[in-house]
């Protein structure tokens, strides 16, 4: 079932305001499980990978949100 434009805007806002900070906390916690801090490049690679992975399931939600509402009536 496809989400409407307004629903996608609402969910994208929720994901950015609630989900993203929660995921940042999760990534931070995940890296704290290492006994010693990894090499700076390895740590950067882990953060970049985690930064890309979190958005993949939500790609359809964010698609087209920045554009005008396609369901809106055209103004004259």
Separation between Cα atoms, residue 41 and residue 36, nearest integer Å: 14
Say what the pTM is.
0.73
Other CB atoms within 10 A of residue 33 CB: 6
pLDDT in tens, the chain (76 residues): 688 888 889 999 999 999 999 999 998 898 899 889 889 999 899 889 988 888 888 888 888 888 888 777 777 5
What phi, psi does 39 have (nearest 5°)?
-55, 150
Residues with Cβ < 8 Å from 19, sequence gap 6 or more?
A: 54, 58
Q: How far is CA 18 from CA 12, 13, 35, 68, in A?
A: 10, 8, 29, 24
């Amino acid at each position: 079932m496809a989400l409407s434009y307004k629903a996608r805007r609402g969910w994208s806002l929720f994901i950015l305001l609630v989900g993203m900070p929660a995921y940042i906390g999760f990534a931070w916690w995940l890296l704290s499980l290492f006994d010693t801090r990894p090499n700076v490049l390895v740590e950067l690679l882990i953060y970049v990978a985690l930064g890309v992975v979190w958005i993949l399931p939500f790609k359809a939600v964010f698609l087209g949100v920045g554009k005008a509402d396609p369901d809106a009536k055209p103004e004259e």
